[in-house]
Amino acid sequence: MSQRIKIKALLESGKTDIDVTVKGWVRAFRQNRFIALNDGSTNSNLQIVVDFENTDAVLLKRITVGAAISVNGKMAASLGQGQSVEVIATDIEVLGDSDPEKYPLQPKKHSLEFLREIAHLRFRTSTFGAIFRVRNTLSFAVHQFFQERGFVYLHTPVITQSDAEGAGEAFHVTNFDLDNVPRTDTGEVDYKQDFFGTATNLTVSGQLEGELGAMALSDIYTFGPTFRAENSNTTRHLAEFWMIEPEMAFYDLNDNMDLAEALLKYVIKYALEKNREDLEFLNQRLLDEEKTKPQAERSELSLLDKLQFCLDNNFERLTYTEAIDILKDSTPNKKKKFQYLVEGWGTDLQSEHERYLVEKHFKKPVILTDYPKDIKAFYMRQNEPDAQGRQTVRAMDILFPGIGEIVGGSQREERLERLEQRMDEMGIPKEELWWYLDTRRFGSAPHAGFGLGFERLVLFVTGMGNIRDVIPFPRFPKNAEF
């Protein structure tokens, strides 16, 4: 028996008149004659032609949607529409039956909401096959981008004592004996003892540890799961998401922006080349969806156009203060003016402001820099106050159309005194971060870094609308079964 060949390789070879063995899952079985077989290697199904007159009736009945089968046969040019080659089956074996009465996936379009309920099986749909192949490619491209540039992939811990962002959104890690939970004098659970006697949490960011690496290895990146205990049920937030965090010694904010823009363009370009078929499929899916919307709400650009546009244009760079000035003068629609929405200099931008800047005003990706220091983390490098005495930090957020914030980063405060002073102001205990401060005590140097939310990147590239659809097993409030 010939060796099993994957469908992608078979279709790419275009060979006919050869004997093949293919294995996969039945997507459809028409007229007891044509099997659409998929093995996940490609979006395309392989057509298997069954000689039903000479095939055992019991076997025919077992060829149902969802069943796993193995097929021996001969490749032939296809006379039918929709495929150039097909397999004329000589021998079919059912490896795993699938009861058609019970199998939740049928050869028709299911809603994404329904598929989210059966996340364990949704890999078997064309849409999710495409999404997860694109996700895989993007992840590979991220590594390739950094490896080509001599960055060291640094594995930072998942269990940590620090809440890097200081936002109080960390999950506790506990090995409490539930029958004997340690309590404080006042009877409350003593989380300070939750991990063998110390307080720990799941990491919200590998940045602080990453900075330690950069202060010796020059350029590092992390790429791993991060956790946020924010109870947000949005299409852009997960409780567990993957983040890419490069950290570079001797970089300033401009170098940081250049690197982030180069990274985003590199990985998008790579996916466009490597996953053309999947992206064309997702592009069509979106075009079909757009057709159901009223004309005014339809997107001007298709997914593929949007991705290409992103490659062909420089990201717009401006300061937070410049952005506020634009927003104050803008009238996004007749009813509401941003004058009333933007409370003024010093407040964080709402997503509607970010969307306006990116989608209406500049119509391209935007990098906002130099945010007010009071709305950003303690580690960002402080600018000198401006003429009006307003204080900003060397922060940058990259905003993408349809996504909002995709990257957050900054040049770091490398001056020990300024950093300590900021930690005092914000009530961050210096004793707990003594190891972090040591990098500023011994051979401190300018450095910068950023965090790219991997699922937000996958959202952008696949054109999907909900972050829960671009990670295999989404974690969000009350959702962790599988």
Pick the binder of ligand 4AD from 164, 307, 399, 459 (CB under 6 A): 164
Determine the residue type at 37: L
Q: Which residues of 47-76 are buried (b: 16+ CB within 10 A; e: fewer)?
A: bbbbebeebeeeeeebbbbbbbbebbbebe
Q: Is 408 in the site for Mg ion (CB under 5 A)?
A: yes
Three-state SS string across 441-470, please? HCCCCCEEEEEEEHHHHHHHHHCCCCHHHC
What radius of gyration do the chain's Cα atoms show?
Answer: 27
Three-state SS string across 176-211, please? CCHHHCCECCCCCECHHHCECCECCEECCCCHHHHH
Residue 356 C-beta: closest distance to ligand 4AD, Å: 18
Residue 336, helix vs strand vs coil: coil
Q: Closest Cα partner for 94 from 129, 47, 51, 62?
A: 62
**Choice between 408 and 449, CB closer to Mg ion:** 408
Show the site string, 203-222: x = touches ligand 4AD by CB under 6 A, - = not: --x-x---------------
Q: Is 456 in the site for ligand 4AD (CB under 6 A)?
A: yes
Residue 385 C-beta: closest distance to ligand 4AD, Å: 23
Of 34-42, 146-154, 327-335, 402-410, the window that binds Mg ion (rule: CB under 5 A) is 402-410
Of 198-206, 230-238, 337-345, 408-416, the window that binds Mg ion (rule: CB under 5 A) is 408-416
Q: Is 372 in the site for Mg ion (CB under 5 A)?
A: no
Pick the binder of ligand 4AD from 27, 133, 228, 265 (CB under 6 A): 228
Distances from the Cα of 48 to the Cαs of 13, 103, 247, 355, in angstroms? Answer: 17, 21, 51, 47
Q: Is 401 in the site for Mg ion (CB under 5 A)?
A: no
User: Positive or negative CA dihedral for 150, 365, 395, 254?
Assistant: positive
Pick the binder of ligand 4AD from 209, 413, 414, 455 (CB under 6 A): 455
Distances from the Cα of 369 to the Cαs of 264, 398, 445, 448, in angstroms? Answer: 18, 9, 21, 13
**Choice between 122 and 228, CB closer to ligand 4AD:** 228
450 vs 102: CA distance, rounded Å: 47
Determine the residue type at 307: L
Question: Which listed option, ligand 4AD, Mg ion, none, makes contact with residue 165 (CB within 5 to 8 Å by class)?
Answer: ligand 4AD
Pick the binder of ligand 4AD from 132, 146, 241, 378 (CB under 6 A): 241
Contact assessment for residue 303 and residue 331, using Cβ atoms and an 8 Å cutoff: no
Tell me the residue nearest to ligand 4AD as measured from the CB: 453
Residues contacting ligand 4AD: total by CB under 6 A: 21
Determine the residue type at 139: S
Of 12-20, 151-159, 172-180, 234-242, the window that binds ligand 4AD (rule: CB under 6 A) is 234-242
Here the tokens at position 43 are: 């979006």
Residue 224 C-beta: closest distance to ligand 4AD, Å: 12
Q: Is 393 in the site for ligand 4AD (CB under 6 A)?
A: no
**Choice between 154 and 238, CB closer to ligand 4AD:** 238
Residues contacting Mg ion: total by CB under 5 A: 1
Q: Which residues are CB-neighbours of 32 under 8 A, at least 6 positions away?
A: 50, 52, 60
Of 80-88, 235-243, 298-306, 312-320, the window that binds ligand 4AD (rule: CB under 6 A) is 235-243
Contact assessment for residue 320 and residue 371, using Cβ atoms and an 8 Å cutoff: yes
Q: Is 449 in the site for Mg ion (CB under 5 A)?
A: no
Of 215-223, 310-318, 400-408, 411-419, the window that binds Mg ion (rule: CB under 5 A) is 400-408
**Choice between 7 and 448, CB closer to ligand 4AD:** 448
What is the binding site for ligand 4AD (CB under 6 A)? 164-165, 205, 207, 228, 237-238, 241, 243, 245, 405-409, 449-451, 453, 455-456
Q: Contact positions toward Mg ion, by CB under 5 A?
A: 408
